[in-house]
Amino acid sequence: MPDDAREPTFETLAVHAGAEPDELTGAVSPPIYQTSTFAQDGVGKPRGGYEYARSQNPTRERLERAIAALEGGTHGIAFASGSAVTAALAELAGPGEEIVVGDDVYGGTYRYLEQVRRSAGVDARYVDLSAGQDVLWEALTERTRLVWFETPSNPNLKVVDIALVAATVARRGAEGGRRPLVVVDNTFASPALQRPLTKGADIVFHSATKYLAGHSDTILGVAATSDDAVADRLRFLQNAMGAVPGPLDCFLVLRGLRTLHLRMERHGQNATAIVAFLRDRADIATVNYPGFGGMVSFVPAAGGAHGRTAAQRAIAVAEGTHLFTLAESLGSVESLIEVPGAMTHLSVAGSALEVDLGLVRLSVGIEGIDDLVADLAGALDQA
């Protein structure tokens, strides 16, 4: 990026961050360093610091620079998946410590915290962080190491005030208590719509598989922070745990980032229209939409053409669309539909976080909105 006094806009950063022309040849599309190891100039003398691709790779470094820039941080750390980021971040809490978690999270996050970290002595407590400052204040203890949440949340699309959470933990530190780290999963919004680090969060992370890459063709996770100590620990874990992305996957996310701002604008326009359509129908009981982004969830009313329950209608709708593909994941150019209680959030069944089996989750893509509305209308009419 140009080294001048003017800060580039997000749109310019999205196109150029990490995608600078190749230093060696000037190639506008930088090469993919598809290599496992690097020749050294002597014993213990790696060229440019490159030894082994699990530890360093130029393509991965470009992606890490890009995500740091887009999130307004100073460090980016890339992992093999969003779940690998979750595992590394959960390691920041040790035995005897606890994590205060938003009460509406991806089922895989719940599964990891409950079935992996809890057995290692790390407790997770689930709190409705969208309910305001007092709820969080009462939840914090001297054992609290992390405050972890999604906003918007998955799949009920609750919105948490990031700045208020940051202010609450700062107040605790100012009054002599332990100040936990604030960890925000920004997957649903992306930095095109919100940048948690600029609102006081300590760490932001993504399943980059989703909006950042945007094309359903890679699995990858990223974290960003401006805390040097946190970054050092995450880089150590990245290397020691070995859950690093391959260079081709890094390239695919870098390519996706260059159109992120354009895609998010269209996702939001289409989602707004879908929400208006759903709210205008008498056979829809509940619609969840935070007012931005491409994620929508809703519960159909019982009844319909065949006198079904809400849960039965949810399945019928998900199985009855043609443009909306029945599939897990989200954030790609094509529209997806799923029933979280039976799919992405099956692991929270029977817990306090259990998802209504009548809930349908939409990842609204960038297709023509009239086509999407007609597809959803046809499925609802037949459900």
Element (H, E) at 82: helix 82-90
- Burial class from Cβ neighbours inside 10 Å (0-12, 13-18, 19+) for residue 115 reads exposed
d(CA 16, CA 11): 9
Q: What sign has the CA pseudo-torsion 163, 165, 168, 173?
A: negative
Catalytic site residue from 210, 263, 313, 361: 210
Which residue, 310, 262, 313, 271, is CA-closest to 290? 271
Q: How far apart are CA 361 and CA 318, in angstroms?
A: 9
Beta bridge partners of 45: 42
The torsion angles phi and psi of 193, rounded to 5 degrees, stand at -110, -30
Q: What tokens were used for 115? A: 């079935």
CA atoms within 13 A on the CB side of 379: 25
Is residue 210 annotated as a catalytic residue, yes or no?
yes
249 is catalytic: no
**Which one is catalytic: 54, 118, 125, 233?**
54
Catalytic residue among 33, 50, 106, 289: 106
The residue annotated as part of the active site, out of 104, 185, 202, 249, is: 185
| AA identity, residue 369 | I
The residues, any chain, with a CB within 8 Å of residue 187's CB and separated by 6 or more, are 82, 150, 154, 205, 206, 207, 210, 211, 331
110 is catalytic: no
| 255 catalytic residue (yes or no) | no
Rounded to whole angstroms, the Cα distance separating 188 from 207 reads 9
Active site residues: 54, 106, 185, 210
